[in-house]
Chains A and B, each alone.
Chain A
């Protein structure tokens, strides 16, 4: 089926962004309203499409729109085409829905910033690029959105780029993303060379006849792309620094939507991964490593945004793990992605609200006891907290437990290892999230006399409340009658799978709950029962110190890539001047030198010239004589 309105989903926010950037200061007064309205307009179109989709049979739901032929050279044909199916609509609603809420939140949050218009222009641009990412009907269209969101992320992380550290964080994010993008670009090349097409439909059709080797290569390269965009191990280092951006950005881009693009990519490419078990296993392993990696970092962070960022990394690890478990896991990965979009965005907005009331203080050791001063923020943050640690009946309980369950049931040592990692991650999540809540909202006051914590204005808390509702209800809605799984089945699970159950759902839930309880109890003992110092204690174990430094991820990158790279650059610059240009200048000098040498024979004395002429003449005659003899 085709639909002509898909393009407006993208065009509206793109138009907003163009107007806000081109009109400049002239639209300072109404720019943010226009941007919000256009984002809401996109949401309305998305909702309309969703309702239309509900009215059609399950295998008739996907709609497409071909705009024009984008690149056409020989057999390489790529249309500027859009495709909205059951998978993309989930994303469209998440992006435009949460996006609009965050637009509204930002109107108040950024009201004192003189560049608020520019901020909204970037937000609108992000929405457009992210929609293109999920709506593109081929890998190349996806790639355009993929780099577009990278650019938006770069611009928004560096929104306050007059601070050098923020500008550096933006650059770091862009470069790390580019490394991932390189993977995507190579994946597209292999796809074209192997299958002769890069559209999703074409690849899906031809993939079964391709060799496993080629598919594995494509899968691994797609995984590289996903690790870059979704801050997965080993390209995870940029996410913590990305918290330099304004908090609404952290909520929208670096929690709810952009960083989950990697999960979208893997799920969208299910036809490749399902035919390449090695690549699929690599996805699951990367997910498992990252979910622990992020969780461990989260335990040691005192900066509330960085703690939440580490948590995001860890939660995306769950999603990637889910997506790496094949047809059984895709739906739950997407479900966790959606529920996470609600509760993590809500918590980030809560963190923004706290910072708003605390003069932009981000150190949790300087918070404490805020629940009395910010009741709404506390309530919404608390609901998000219950959702993320997986307490029934909140959203995270449904989605996360399902991933753990599928991991255990993956079979053999693989299943037990991945399942154990996921369970352990759940316990650690409970610990560090409880720590965040206690340090921020409970315990004694640790802030300055100058700070006057207060509740945020309506425009800020209203989106938080809506997101909190989502964190409470979404899990139940998605799992009720396997709603989401059946919805996605035509895309990700063409043939129903029945796997042997190692652990029944009830057992997994009980195990998880027990471990979560242990994590929560530990945190309560450590942070609620004892005084929390304002300054982080120095006499801590080596493990804590390493965790505080993000498990040495920056040190590793610096030692392995940055310093050798800089040394190589310096060497090459010197070599270029000395060797290559040196050789060129050497030729010039040689010419001059030989001229100087020959010049010595030019004495200026007429008689010596005459002598040479004479010798020359005699020599010539002698030569002729010798030759003619």
Chain B
């Protein structure tokens, strides 16, 4: 099977994720979309590793997973805290930086 097909899937996933981040308001959903984009990138890394026949891309994918895990921990904590104080998980309500 042509390795390029994996790349198409990866691009598709990344696009879905990006659109999700821009369009959706719920912080949890946005967060999941971000994860989707990360994983799309992972897929590309692994594919390229496969095409080039070395392991570097696979290693980077592991790194990405670790970073994503950290991100989940910190990000979810922030989202929960915001939800507690504002009773809403909508990102549009949290525009405090404007002023």
Binding site for B on A (CB under 8 A): 602-607, 610-611, 614
Shortest C-beta distance, B36 to chain A (Å), equals 14
Q: Report the minimum CB–CB distance from B55 to chain A (whole Å).
A: 27
Residue B96 at the A interface, CB < 8 A? yes
**Is the Cβ of A614 less than 8 Å from the Cβ of B22?**
yes
Given contacts A607-B25, A610-B21, A610-B22, contact A602 B92 (CB under 8 A): no
Also in contact, A602 and B25, with CB within 8 A (given A607-B91, A614-B18) = no
Q: Is chain B's binding surface mostly helix, strand, loop or mixed?
A: helix
- Assembly CA distance A604 to B95 (angstroms): 4
CA distance A607 to B22 in the complex (A): 5
B21 touches A604 (CB 8 A): no
Closest to A617 in B: B18
Chain A residue at minimum C-beta to C-beta distance from B25: A607
CA of A607 to CA of B31 in the docked complex: distance in angstroms? 12
Once the chains bind, are B92 and A605 in contact (CB under 8 Å)?
A: yes
Distance (Å) between the CB of B86 and the closest chain A CB? 14
Contacts of A603 in B (CB 8 A): 95, 98
B22 touches A604 (CB 8 A): no
The CA of A602 and the CA of B96, in the complex, are separated in Å by: 11
Of all chain B residues, the one with the shortest Cβ separation from A614 is B18
Complex CA gap A606/B21 in Å reads: 9
Query: Is A611 touching B91 in the complex (CB atoms < 8 A)?
Result: no
Chain A residues with Cβ below 8 Å from B25 are 607
Of B18, B21, B23, B91, the residue contacting A605 (CB under 8 A) is: B91
Whether A604 touches B96, Cβ cut-off 8 Å, given contacts A610-B22, A611-B22, A614-B18, is yes
Tell me whether A602 and B97 are in contact (CB under 8 A): yes
A606 pairs with B98, CB closer than 8 A: no
B12 interface contact, C-beta 8 A: no
A610 to chain B, nearest CB (A): 5
Q: Complex formed: what's the CA distance from A455 to B30 in Å?
A: 114
Report yes or no: A606 in contact with B96, Cβ–Cβ below 8 A: no
> Across the interface, which residues of A come within 8 angstroms of B95, CB to CB?
603-606
Assembly CA distance A611 to B92 (angstroms): 14
Shortest A189–chain B CB gap in Å is 65
Query: How far, in Å, is B27 (CB) from chain A's closest CB?
Result: 8
Q: Distance (Å) between the CB of A602 and the closest chain B CB?
A: 6
Known: A602-B97, A602-B98. A607 touches B92 (CB 8 A): yes
The tally of residues in B whose CB lies under 8 Å from a CB in A reads: 14
Known contacts A610-B22, A614-B18; decide if A604 and B91 are in contact (CB<8 Å). no
B51 at the interface (CB under 8 A from A): no
Report B75 CB to chain A, min CB distance, Å. 12
Closest 9 CB pairs of A and B: A604-B98, A604-B95, A606-B91, A610-B21, A611-B22, A604-B97, A610-B22, A605-B95, A614-B18
Determine the chain A residues whose CB is within 8 A of the CB of B23 once the complex forms. Answer: 607
User: Is B60 located at the chain interface by the 8 A CB criterion?
Assistant: no
Q: Which residues of A contact B76 (CB under 8 A)?
A: none
B residues engaging A (CB < 8 A)? 18, 21-23, 25, 30, 91-92, 94-99
Can you report 12 A-B residue pairs in the complex whose CB atoms are below 8 A from each other?
A: A602-B97, A602-B98, A603-B95, A604-B95, A604-B96, A604-B98, A606-B91, A607-B22, A607-B23, A607-B25, A607-B92, A614-B21
CB distance from B67 to the nearest CB of A (A): 18
Given A604-B98, A605-B92, A606-B92; 5 other pairs, CB 8 A cutoff? A603-B98, A604-B96, A607-B91, A610-B21, A611-B22
Of all chain B residues, the one with the shortest Cβ separation from A609 is B97
Contacts of B22 in A (CB 8 A): 607, 610-611, 614
Bound-complex Cα distance A466 to B96 (A): 99
**Chain B nearest CB, measured from A149 CB (Å):** 71
* Closest A residue by C-beta to B23: A607
Q: CB-CB < 8 A to B30: which residues of A?
A: 606-607
| Docked pose: A610 CA to B98 CA in angstroms | 15
With a cutoff of 8 Å between Cβ atoms, the chain A residues found around residue B98 in the complex are 602-604
Residue of A nearest to B21 (CB): A610
Nearest-neighbour CB distance to chain A for B13, whole angstroms, equals: 15
Neighbouring B residues of A610 by C-beta, 8 Å: 21-22
Instruction: Note all chain A residues with C-beta closer than 8 A to B18.
Output: 614
A607 surroundings in chain B (CB, below 8 A): 21-23, 25, 30, 91-92
Among A603, A607, A611, the most chain B Cβ lie within 10 Å of the Cβ of: A607
How many Å lie between the Cα of A611 and that of B22 in the bound state?
A: 6
Shortest Cβ distance from residue B98 to the other chain A in the assembled complex, whole angstroms: 3
A606 neighbours in B (Cβ, 8 Å): 30, 91-92, 94-95
Distance between Cα atoms of A602 and B99 in the complex (Å): 9
A605 to B98, CA, bound (A): 8
Complex CA–CA separation, A610 to B30 (angstroms): 11
Residue of A whose beta carbon sits closest to that of B33? A610
A608's closest neighbor in chain B, by CB? Answer: B22
B21 contacts across to A, CB distance below 8 A: 607, 610, 614
CA distance A604 to B94 in the complex (A): 8
Q: How far is the CA of A466 from the CA of B18 in the complex (A)?
A: 115
Q: In the bound complex, what is the Cα–Cα distance between A610 and B22 (angstroms)?
A: 6
Determine the distance from Cα of A607 to Cα of B18 in the docked complex, in whole angstroms.
10
Q: A605 to chain B: which residues have CB within 8 Å?
A: 91-92, 95
> Closest CB of chain A to B7's CB: distance in Å?
15
Q: CB-CB < 8 A to A614: which residues of B? A: 18, 21-22
B96 contact set on A, CB distance < 8 A: 604
Report Cα–Cα, A610/B18, bound state, in Å: 9
The complex places the Cα of A8 from the Cα of B1 at a distance, in Å, of 121
CA A610 to CA B97, docked complex, whole Å: 15
State the CA gap A12–B42 with chains docked (Å): 104
Complex Cα–Cα for A293 and B94 (A): 90
* Closest-CB distance, A29 to chain B (whole angstroms): 78
| Residue numbers in B under 8 Å from A604 (CB-CB) | 95-99
Question: How far does the alpha carbon of A604 sit from the alpha carbon of B96 in the complex, in Å?
Answer: 7
User: Separation in Å of the B65 CB from the closest CB of chain A?
Assistant: 22
Expressed in whole angstroms, the minimum distance between the Cβ of B88 and any Cβ of chain A is 13
- Could you say which residues of chain A place their CB within 8 Å of the CB of B94? 606
Question: Given the complex, which residues of A lie within 8 Å of B99, measured CB to CB?
Answer: 604
